Homo-oligomer: A and B are copies of this chain.
Amino acid sequence: MKLKNDLFLRACKRKPVDRTPVWIMRQAGRYLPEYRAVREKADFMTMVKTPELAAEITIQPVDIIGVDAAILFSDILVIPDAMGMNLEMHEGKGPVFPNPIRTKNDVDKLKVIDPYKELKYVLDAVELTKKELDNKVPLIGFAGSPWTLMTYMVEGKGSKNFSFVKQLIYNEPELAHQLLDKLADAVADYLSAKIEAGVNAVQIFDTWGGILAQNEFEEFSLQYITKVIDNIKRKNEPVIVFAKGVHYKLNRLAKSGADVLGLDWTMDLGKVRKKTGDKVALQGNLDPCVLYADEDKIKEEIIKVLDSYGEGSGHIFNLGHGILPDIDPEKVKALVKYVKEATAERNSK
């Protein structure tokens, strides 16, 4: 079945588009009253693990906000959870692993997962969502990068200084590489299965890439992102890499096999576009806090992002990070509407 709106996929491949596609990181989330209504009846992990609920939440922003792509409601930590780490979600404290990875024994004990078994609930959610979406817009699937997953698995909970994972890479680099390798296989298998189940694109979140020095990023993160991308079984489904805070090695990232780089709001789209020489499409990068402003200011800041990218295809409008839970949904609707109108007008000139 052909997609009714394939703007997002076209822009990922830098093909001509009538207007710039737009979606929002964490668009299926707490800022929506419709999301909170579901959340009142089920806890977070139940929502993630129940295909009917995951599908319902995934589709909400397509209908309510009018985005050009859906992204499957899930969590990057379902992989370590499936490997046997028992993910706990603590209200207001974020994810916790009661037994963080600290030794070779901990790494060896991690299960090699078969996504068709341990993560079947995700694949079922993909299939159900695709059916309910009825080809209205493409569906994105996502995963954490091996480095970002390892960071959570080793720290065990939120961290300010990332002392444990840094100790691991400095003092036991071989063990770190062993774990990263294991995770790269799991992530590639998982994303391949999601694609087989029907997602039209995948995004790899390297949330913690930016805590590494430049050479360490290459050794401990980029290398494994590249391995994941190499091993994903896909036909033409684009891969997006969002490495928050990674302001360096962008040229190397652009050669990782990714079709799209997601950029946070501290980056300059135009400069990155020049640097990466149109090898990749770019996604981003409005500061999520701009949505606290009034609509005139929001429009002004949208225009700055559009101007910064400049003319031509290859831009996917998004925030530079996930939408915050206390944002007014009316402003998000206004943002999406305005990006559509402003870019359609620009493209018709």
A265 at the interface (CB under 8 A from B): yes
Q: In the bound complex, how far is the Cα of B133 from the Cα of A281, in angstroms?
A: 57
Q: Count of A residues near B, CB < 8 Å?
A: 33
Partner of A304, one of B215, B294, B320: B215
Asked if A268 and B214 sit within 8 Å, CB to CB, the answer is yes
* Copies of this chain in its oligomeric complex: 2
Contact A167 B304 (CB under 8 A): no
Contact code string A227-248 (vs B, CB < 8 Å = 1, else 0) = 0000000000000000001011
- Residues in B neighbouring A83, C-beta threshold 8 A: none
Instruction: State which residues 272-303 of A face B: CB under 8 Å.
Output: 287-290, 292-294, 297
**Proximity string of chain A (306-332) to chain B, C-beta cutoff 8 Å, 1 when within and 0 when not:** 000000000000001000101000000
Interface residue A163 (Cβ < 8 Å from any Cβ of B): yes
CA distance A267 to B247 in the complex (A): 9
A251-274 contact mask (Cβ, 8 Å, vs B): 1 or 0: 000000000000001111000000
- Check if A213 sits within 8 Å of B265, measured CB to CB: yes
Which of B170, B289, B320 meets A289, CB within 8 Å?
B170
- Interfacial chain B residues near A210, Cβ < 8 Å: 266
Question: Contact at A268–B289, with CB atoms within 8 Å?
Answer: no
Q: Is A348 part of the contact surface with B, judged by Cβ < 8 Å? A: no
Chain B nearest CB, measured from A30 CB (Å): 13
Distance A320 CA – B247 CA, assembled complex (angstroms): 16
Cβ distance A95 to chain B, nearest Cβ, rounded Å: 14
Residue of B nearest to A167 (CB): B292
Instruction: Tell whether, in the assembled complex, residue A266 and residue B214 are in contact, meaning their CB atoms are under 8 Å apart.
Output: yes
Specify which chain B residues have a CB less than 8 angstroms from the CB of A289 in the assembled complex. 161-163, 166-167, 170
Contact A266–B166 (Cβ < 8 Å): no
Which residue of B161, B214, B215, B297 contacts A324 across the interface (Cβ within 8 Å)? B161
A105 at the interface (CB under 8 A from B): no
Q: Which residues of the other chain, B, contact A304 by a CB distance below 8 angstroms? A: 215
How far is it, in angstroms, between the C-alpha of A212 and the C-alpha of B268 when the chains are bound?
12
Return the CB mask of A205-228 against B: 1 if under 8 Å, else 0. 000001111111000000000000
Residues on B with beta carbons closer than 8 Å to the beta carbon of A212: 266
Cα A40 to Cα B304 in complex, Å, equals 52
Contact B247 A292 (CB under 8 A): no
User: Chain B nearest CB: distance from A263 CB in Å?
Assistant: 11
Check A268–B248 contact: CB distance below 8 A: yes
Residues of chain B with a CB closer than 8 A to A171's CB: 292-294, 297
Distance (whole angstroms) from the CB of A284 to the closest CB of chain B: 11
Contacting pair A292 B166 (CB below 8 A): yes
A-B contact pairs, 14 of them (CB 8 A): A161-B324, A163-B324, A166-B289, A170-B293, A171-B292, A210-B266, A211-B266, A212-B266, A213-B265, A213-B266, A213-B320, A214-B266, A245-B266, A247-B247
Beyond known contacts A161-B288, A161-B324, A211-B266: 17 more, CB 8 A cutoff: A163-B289, A163-B326, A166-B287, A166-B292, A167-B289, A167-B292, A170-B297, A171-B294, A171-B297, A210-B266, A212-B266, A213-B287, A214-B268, A215-B304, A245-B245, A245-B266, A248-B267
